[in-house]
Amino acid sequence: MTFSDALWVFIILSMLQPVLARKFLDLRRMQMIDRFQKRRGSRVILMVHRQETMRLLGFPLMRYIDIQDSEDVLRAIRMTDRDAPLDIVLHTPGGLVLAALQIARAVEAHRGKVTVFVPHHAMSGGTLVALAADEIVMCDHSVLGPIDPQIGQFPAASILKVVADKPVAEIDDETLILADVGRKAIDQVRQAATTILSARMPADKAAAIAATLSSGTWTHDYPISAQEARDIGLNVSTDMPAEVMEMMMLYPQPVRQSGGVEFLPGPHQPSPRRARR
């Protein structure tokens, strides 16, 4: 083989390596999902948005719950026996209310037990989906988030507060229109969350939880811990299966920038101390 031939082989292998690596990673995911399904006797669905640091031409991109996600999740639920348990792994910053609400309603309507696993975070629309489950399983430090609507770049609750605190004559028409839309958006999300929660708890308790999460109690990015979620009345466990955390390792960032966190992989045990003389 000549040097030129070897160079072409190297170039071809270099071009194929990312494709082969991606296929191998996809295979490992499917194998892990299959093992987890068999152990749990359930349908396992993962909705993982891991592109938080992906960039295109220097502009940051984010994956979020969209219509494609709702179509895929609804298709998976329709293909599942109505009495079979459903396990959903959520890792998402949120997304479209339309898509999240479609998923939440399909989850709530499923007759079998539904468990939502939140290994790291399920914010906004992700929390709306989690509310539809029979049980939410979180890690000690994973978080949910408020479901208060955002109108453009502003929280709907904050727009309403501005309108309530100032005389109408001092408020411009655009703000009044935003306030009207914001009021409707809050009412819609609160009512939807109440209906979803009422399927698994008393109506008055469901209404109280929905109001807390949708009315601007916190900023939209506030991290609600497992204990706080329990305190407001959600059925939360911290018994996170090890397989869920292993599956998350199979969803790396597609474009990884140099970060500041490094550690040796694998479990670690403290070294035995030498006895002093």
**HEC states along 54-73?**
CEECCEECCCCECHHHHHHH
Closest CA to 149 of 197, 188, 194, 205: 188
In a domain, 261, yes or no: no
196 and 243 in a single domain? The answer is no
What integer pLDDT is reported at residue 231 of this predicted model? 97
58 and 157 in a single domain? The answer is no
Instruction: Kindly give the pairing relationship between strand 150-151 and strand 114-118.
Output: unpaired
Who contacts 234 (Cβ-Cβ below 8 Å, separation ≥6)?
Answer: 131, 136, 209
The domain boundary residue, chosen from 170, 203, 220: 220
Mean pLDDT of 121-137: 97
Instruction: Kindly give the pairing relationship between strand 135-138 and strand 114-118.
Output: parallel
**DSSP state at residue 80:** S
Stretch among 23-27, 85-89, 103-107, 213-217 having the lowest mean pLDDT? 23-27
235 and 133 in a single domain? The answer is yes
Looking up tokens 């009207």 gives 180
118 and 167 in a single domain? The answer is no
74 and 45 in a single domain? The answer is yes
Structure token pair of residue 15: 């071009």
What integer pLDDT is reported at residue 256 of this predicted model? 52
Domain of 73?
Answer: 41-145+223-253
Higher-confidence residue of 277 and 182: namely 182
91 and 114 in a single domain? The answer is yes
In a domain, 14, yes or no: no
Q: What percent of the chain has pLDDT over 70?
A: 83
What integer pLDDT is reported at residue 108 of this predicted model? 95
Half-sphere exposure of 139 (CA within 13 A, CB side): 15
74 and 122 in a single domain? The answer is yes
Q: What CATH number should be reported for the domain holding residue 60?
A: 3.90.226.10
Phi, psi (5° rounding) for residue 140? -60, -30
Q: How many helices (H) and strands (E) does the chain have?
A: 9, 11
Mean pLDDT of 27-36: 91
3-state secondary structure of 203: helix
pLDDT confidence of 257, banded at 50, 70, 90? Answer: low
In a domain, 22, yes or no: no
179 and 46 in a single domain? The answer is no
134 and 236 in a single domain? The answer is yes
Who contacts 198 (Cβ-Cβ below 8 Å, separation ≥6)?
Answer: 206, 207
Q: Which residues pair with 118 in a beta bridge?
A: 138
Mean pLDDT of 41-68: 72
Q: What is the pTM of this model?
A: 0.83
Convert the pLDDT of each residue in 143-183 to its tens digit. 999 999 999 889 999 999 999 998 988 889 999 999 999 99
In a domain, 8, yes or no: no
92 and 185 in a single domain? The answer is no
171 and 49 in a single domain? The answer is no
Task: Give how many domains the chain has, as a whole number.
Answer: 2
What integer pLDDT is reported at residue 4 of this predicted model? 74
66 and 160 in a single domain? The answer is no
In a domain, 55, yes or no: yes
Half-sphere exposure of 178 (CA within 13 A, CB side): 21
Structure token pair of residue 95: 């997304």
pLDDT confidence of 253, banded at 50, 70, 90? Answer: low
